[in-house]
A and B are shown apart, each in its own frame.
Chain A
Amino acid sequence: MTEESEAIRAVRLRHPWRVLAAIVLVLLLALFVLDAANRPAFGWAAFAQYLFDPRIMQAALNTLALTVYSMVAGVLLGVLLAIMRLSPNPVVKSVAWLYLWVFRGTPVYVQLVFWGLLATIYATIDIGIPFTAPWIQFETRDTIDVFWLAVIGLALNEAAYMAEIVRAGIMSVDQGQNEAATALGMSWTKTMRRVVLPQAMRIIIPPTGNEVISMLKTTSLVAAVPYSFDLYGRARDISAATFDPIPLLLVASAWYLAFTSVLMVGQYFLEKRFSRGIGMERQTRRGSDAGRSGAVTTATGPVPGVTTTAGASSAAGSGSVETDGNEPENRPVDPGQTPTGKESG
């Protein structure tokens, strides 16, 4: 026993199996790469030739455009649907429920085929009073081209999923916030706009990033419309002429991978940004945790009401059911996290 405590110098715990497993895996990977590099079927020469082909580059842009337009429209409509679903008005609520039922209940591929058949089903778009002569009449085929049909199809489908994400976000905001705003005389709409949505945003944004990545890949289904100037469609068309599909599949994959990589980096920063300072609020959401975390949080964080069991428990329920299904690792906030930075106002 020494007077001053001595720094511990112990032999580190070794993990021989980890090292071995890593070596074996690296060897196997190297073997696969080596083999792939020399395998004629992959057609690396063709891959290099087509990777930056102007048609492919244009198609990559089209894919990006499809993604951006569909996402923007999908998010806007999704927010609207989520608010409608939570509205006290039963009519509005039912409309939203019906929408979600249809658009979440059918495959996006089938929906895209239907949008492609729009002109067949509805040859003209009439504006006017039903059963009377229309004031304005459009030929469907001339009015909406396939690109926009694809966007409509993707956006309407996406809106149904975004609505669930937004709804989970809204319901994760403490009921006490609602009450405080109501007690101050704010209307339901104003409470939503000024108090609930800004707080829900922080929970909505990370899974939305996930949806963007998912959408980028879903655009490859627009062949169903049929729109064929997206990345995958173009690659397939070229390969149909060259009778050599594999290099072009690799080309398309390389571009998708490049885009999703950029998006994943973006999402990493978004998640970091939006998880700041809200760890405790998430924690108090859960009714069961409320008592425990309440004691922890009184000194530092806003402790939303513990009194609201109904709202809180259903929020937790919808959160886990609706959004967890997408990507569990994508939880916006670690519940155990403590607030570190400034509030992101």
Chain B
Amino acid sequence: MLTYILRRLGAGLLLLAIVTMVTFWIFYVLPRWAGVTPEGMAAMYVGKAPTPEALAATVERLGLDQPIAGQFYDFIRTLLLGTEYTFGRQTVECAAPCLGYSFSTNTPVLEQIVSRLPVTMSLAAGAAVIWVVGGVAVGVLSAVKKGSIFDRIAMSLALVGVSLPIYFTGLLSLAFLVHNWNLFPVPRYVPLTEDPIAWVQVMILPWVTLAFLHAAQYARQTRAGMLETLGEDYIRTARAKGLSERRVIFKHALRPTLTPIVTIFGLDLGLVLGGAILTETTFSLNGIGKYAIDAIVSKDLPVILGVTLMGAFFIVLCNLIVDLLYPVVDPRVRIAK
């Protein structure tokens, strides 16, 4: 078991390294190929009427004129060993793992990510609960009552959920539920630790909006899986044994259906933890997704690298957890081992 975990961890680290290189390549190397000069890149981070001196100083401070390999080496070294930055007459230490300083706001990237993590985690946790519970429940009911009105309505809704973009459902719910009918408070994030009730009130719309999209997939997936399983021989056997329908469905049919669900869930949760850009932007939540999109718009390279790494990290982590959960969900995996 331990070697299994270590192997997975090793693969995860390798993946992170590859993601880092690709991101670095996209944002550092591609612009050079496109003919952007170091001064041109520096112009992103200075004011509206920069003097040539300010541009030159910025190029030097950010190391934009260094060869690519040098910049990459610096990035990795900073990440692993930490570094020091000078501001005015002050020197600030950035301890490992140092993701660097944001070019445009002069704040440490890691600190910013950590301070925004609670927002994204709140969003991800609440939405995930809703979409898994809701999606699976609807899927099971639809499968059991296949062809009923409930099934048809639920599956049409699921289709709608999959096809409607978040900025549409989100803006719609904001316009009507918040601003027109005043059913929910204006979304201004409140930490869970500060006021749990306000936290729920503020987060409920983003949760539902984000969950709607995912729940739809889960419902369809569960329904299909359930229908397939319900047709299996052992289900007929279970029924023939005289087991109650409830037991048949939940104990015998649902369990194997859950295996693929858990797999997608790991990926989905990892993605959302890495920043639900659309949801966070629509509801003006200052989470990691918002941080990422702001950084991309202002070409704030250290931040882009930082959030990309963080996103990849979450996916790797969630996948690892899912892999470890397999034997619990599916006894066959245990036996095979």
A binds B: no
A contact residues vs B (CB 8 Å cutoff):
none
